Amino acid sequence: MNTRFHGVGVAIVTPFNADHSIDFDGYGRVIQHISDGGVRYIVLQGTTGESPTVTKAEKKQLLNYTKENNPKNLPIVYGVGGNVTPEVVNYIKETDFDGIDAILSVCPYYNKPGQRGVIEHFTRIADASPVPVILYNIPPRTGINMTAETVCTLAEHPNIIGVKEASCIIEQCMEIARDKPEDFLLISGDDVQGVPIISIGGVGVMSVIANAFPSRFCGIIDAALEGDFKLASRELSHFLRIDPLLYEEGNPVGIKNIMEIMGLIEGHVRLPLMKASESLSERQRIVLQQDQLLELVA
């Protein structure tokens, strides 16, 4: 079984300067931070990386920077998705995949296709991609749910190797775990559901919180993968109150603010997102201290 994408992958943020240009120095610090923290792979230009407002030219710059500043040579999963199938396929054909280990492709959004359309969309992407494809199901953002039956149908494609499941429907994840091919990767797209999903057959998490706390979160997921769910659940409980504060004002507003508190990057985001409000920032500081997370910042 391919284990490159087991454990914690980080949906890495894109740091910005005050003028909203990309802060490559900050980006380098984040890569070093998560690498030192033991993450298994980098997920580049997902939603947490603010992919909707990063230009094609900037995506290429970020990809090249990641390849050239990857101290532990971590596998790279590159976000390539959209809701116009031919445009996604053309983008794949125009991309240099040297150094890219897989793509993460989100379920087509806004136009809300039926399941047959979802299957055809991803089949064409998988046919065109020179690297393996990981599906991404996140109904709150896309407006549609990719069903367990659809996921398992697509799992039969030789170039589709897994799914990032962020539906937060545990019964659906159980159906996928039951019916998928043995080597198909079920990956949690939600930090706090990572341990439960591993308990039913998942292999890890594409994490937001690990941008800030990679070592602690990797320890939680590794414990779960080793079958120590008591330890994993106890340690995960430290993150239960901070997790909703990551998303209250939109992702990645919350995680970037925590990383600013830690001194890693500044918390700037691009419109229509806004930098964390004083209220959110203060509540985050209180929870971080009360749940013994600030001590992990050293």
Q: Could you give the CA distance from residue 229 to residue 216 in angstroms, rounded to a whole number?
A: 15
Q: Could you give the CA distance from residue 172 to residue 290 in angstroms, rounded to a whole number?
A: 34
Known active-site residue 72: no
Concatenating the DSSP letter of every residue in 44-106 gives ESSGGGTGGGS-HHHHHHHHHHHHHS-TT---EEEE---S-HHHHHHHHHHS--TT--EEEEE
Q: Could you give the CA distance from residue 20 to residue 129 in angstroms, rounded to a whole number?
A: 32
- Burial class for 170, CB neighbours closer than 10 Å (0-12, 13-18, 19+): middle
Residue in the structure block whose two tokens are 């019916």: 179
Q: Could you give the CA distance from residue 73 to residue 193 in angstroms, rounded to a whole number?
A: 28
Q: Could you give the CA distance from residue 88 to residue 154 in angstroms, rounded to a whole number?
A: 17
Q: Could you give the CA distance from residue 291 to residue 276 in angstroms, rounded to a whole number?
A: 20
Known active-site residue 41: no
The answer to whether 288 and 254 have CB atoms below 8 angstroms apart is no
- Out of 41, 78, 136, 180, which one is annotated catalytic? 136
- Out of 27, 78, 164, 256, which one is annotated catalytic? 164
Active-site amino acid positions: 136, 164
